[in-house]
Amino acid sequence: MGMIEAILLTVITAATPLVLASIGELVTERTGVLNLGVEGMMVMGAAIAFAVTQMTGSPYIGILAGIAGGALFSLLFGFLTLTLVANQVATGLALTILGLGISGQIGEPYVGMSGTKLQPIVIPLLSDIPFLGPLLFKQDIIFYVSIALVLGVNWFLFKSRAGLKIRAIGDNHGSAHALGIHVIRTRYLAVMFGGACAGLAGAQLSLVYTPQWVENMSAGRGWIALALVVFASWRPWRLLAGGYLFGAVSISQLHAQAAGIHIPSQFLSALPYIATVVVLILISHNRRMTQINTPACLGKPFVPDR
């Protein structure tokens, strides 16, 4: 395995949780709900996936538990913001803080334990392709799922009727309600999809990225995922590209250190956010496109009048 291959492998590992968490948040935001609790849901997924893997010995059951944990945790956000119409920003922040706390409790007995690394699934024939084979077809299941999710969400949002309804709700929830679309129900489902994806992203962290439990191990990736959704202007393809770009940036500090290049690590960890700001400035020039892609109801509470 060459040097470049090794670096690219680490990029894929670093990008996958970002892609996963942000594709879930993209769907949530497309329905007009801003869930700032990605970080909290992610770290919950990581703790639960690790704990369940340790208990059962099967990382696959751990992954499912992580997904379920993230989805259930997001349900709390859904209940507060959709049913009780609490402020989405405040609730999302609270969810992050709460998630960091509870995950610490769940993970406490497992601190310092070495985990079970999720084994790659080798796809026959395709994995024999030189260079690309080992990179793309000798990966763990979470990577395959992340790519499938991006493709699936892109098809779902822009080709399916349910996806059209989601975009309609995000654009104008009042009109959607008047058309008989179930705004609140759809938003609940979208919030839970976001939670499930964040939980899966967390499971990737504690089962693939660094197979162990460390408190606060999401380490700000939830916030990068949020930035990534805006960076991608709510389009799945751009999100995939942005996820790998951000993943490469976040892993570059390790490689830079190894190669003896001295770039302040603080600068590298700030890069995804700087990139987001730059992209926002660039796309703001084409305001029409921004307006068509940005969910107009993002963060606005919806109370049907009756």
Partner 1 sequence: MLAVRSLTKLFGSFAACNGIDLDIKSGEIHALLGENGAGKSTLVKMLFGVLAPSSGQILWKGEPVRITSPGAARRIGIGMVFQHFSLFEALTVAENIALSLSPGISLSKVAEEASRLSHLYGLPLDPNAHVADLSVGERQRIEIVRALLQNPELIILDEPTSVLTPQEADRLFETLAKLKAEGRSVLYISHRLEEVQRICDRATVLRHGKVTGACNPRQETPASLARMMVGRDVASVSAAGTNTKGDVLLEAKHLTVPSRTPFAVALKNVCLKVRSGEVLAIAGVAGNGQGELFDALSGEYPVTDPAAVSIRGKAAGNLGITARRLMGAGFVPEERHGHAAVTTLPLSDNLVLARSQSDRKTFLAGGLLGIIRQAVVRIASKRISETMDVRKSGENPAAGSLSGGNLQKYIVGRELDRQPAVLIVNQPTWGVDAGAASRIRQALVDLAKSGSAVLVISQDLDEIFEVATEIAVISEGRLSDAYPAHDLTREKIGLLMGGMYGKTEGEVADAH
Q: Are 28 and 194 in contact (CB under 8 A)?
A: yes
- For residues 162 and 177, give the distance between their C-alpha atoms in angstroms, rounded to a whole number: 14
Q: In whole angstroms, how close is the CB of 295 to partner 1 at the nearest point?
A: 8
Size of the site for partner 1 (CB under 8 A): 24
Q: Measured between alpha carbons, how far is 244 from 14 in angstroms, rounded to an integer? A: 8
Sign of CA dihedral 117, 65, 8, 262: negative
- Please report the sign of the dihedral spanned by the C-alpha atoms of residue 240, residue 243, residue 249, residue 251: negative
Closest CB 179 distance from partner 1, rounded Å: 5
Helix, strand, coil shares, percent, the chain, to 5: 75, 0, 25
Q: Cα dist. 51→6, 98, 212, 299 in Å?
A: 29, 18, 10, 34
Kindly tell me which of 105 and 175 has the beta carbon lying closer to partner 1. Answer: 175
Residue choice 84, 85, 296, 303 for contact with partner 1 (CB under 8 A): 296
CB of 178 to partner 1, least distance (A): 5
Contacts with partner 1, 275-294, as mask; x by CB under 8 A: ------------xx--xxxx
Q: Which of residues 154-183 bind partner 1 (CB under 8 A)?
A: 161, 164-165, 167-168, 171-172, 174-176, 178-181
Nearer to partner 1, 94 or 183 (CB): 183
CB of 160 to partner 1, least distance (A): 10
CB of 285: closest distance to partner 1 in angstroms? 11
Instruction: Confirm or reject binding of residue 262 to partner 1 (CB under 8 A).
Output: no
Nearer to partner 1, 127 or 294 (CB): 294
List the interface residues with partner 1, window 58-97 (CB under 8 A).
Answer: none
- Please spell the DSSP secondary structure of 166-221, one letter per residue: HHHHHH-HHHHHHTT--HHHHHHHHHHHHHHHHHHHHHHIIIIISSS--TTTTTTH
Nearer to partner 1, 167 or 255 (CB): 167
Distance CA 167, CA 162 (A): 9
- Rounded distance between C-alpha atoms, residue 152 and residue 114, angstroms: 34
At closest approach, how far in Å is the CB of 38 from partner 1? Answer: 23
Q: Name the site residues for partner 1 (rule: CB under 8 A).
A: 161, 164-165, 167-168, 171-172, 174-176, 178-181, 287-288, 291-296, 305-306
